[in-house]
Amino acid sequence: MGRLPDFLIIGASRCGTGSLFKNLLQHPLIERPPGKELHFFDQRYNRGIEWYKSQFPETKKNTLCFEATPAYLHKPICTERIFNHLPKCKFIVLLRNPVDRVASGYSRWMTEEGQWNPYELMAKNPYHGAVETGIYEKPLRRWFGYFPRDQFLIIKSEDFFENEKRIIAQCFDWLGVELIDIGKPLFFDQRGRKKEWLPYQREVPDDVKEYLREFFKPYNQELYQLLGRDFGWQ
């Protein structure tokens, strides 16, 4: 029963993966599992590959299925496990300016935790997950060591936020499905609730922003060299 996915969105978190997931599903030839993030290759691997296959719909002619678990990008064990089971799989990766990505996490935590200000605890701690997962070059280099680069579509998140329909059409074309007009793209928060896209607006302390810019600068340069593409992040 079921099938294995044709492609995965593997990251990065806080980079628009949820919104891209929802918008890709508007295509009639793209199908989904019961939820966005199955976390099979990091948290549920002991359930076995047959359980994973059962989460996806039966094969239909010319249809594709996928899931989106952003945690996969940064976890080495996921790369190896996915290679063992899905060597021909395609991967979509969204990458956002890591400074803005930390700020997005701050906005989320302020919403969920009231007045708690986490910056002193995490923004200047390079080992905090919110900061460390903004370093993209190292995990991508690992993935490129397992899979050919033509199996990856790397998307600059800012391009998605600024011209959603163009990026969605790019995904459809890369996946080999008919280009269709899905109408006005939809954006969703972490809990899957619809929202209008707005740039990050919560004020970030200047000293923290400057620290993050300097911290991420060499890592961003390494990413640009790896991809042969300058994202121009400040």
Cα–Cα distance for residue pair 62/44, rounded to 1 Å: 29
Domains in the chain and their CATH numbers?
Answer: 7-98+136-201 (3.40.50.300)
- Tens digits of residue pLDDT in 171-204: 999 999 999 888 776 665 444 444 544 444 456 6
- Residue carrying the six token digits 């961003």: 220
- pTM of the complete model: 0.88
Residue 150: CA atoms inside 13 Å, Cβ hemisphere, count?
A: 0
Phi, psi for 115 (deg, rounded to 5): -95, 5
Cα–Cα distance for residue pair 20/74, rounded to 1 Å: 19
Confidence grade of residue 32 (pLDDT, cut at 50, 70, 90): confident
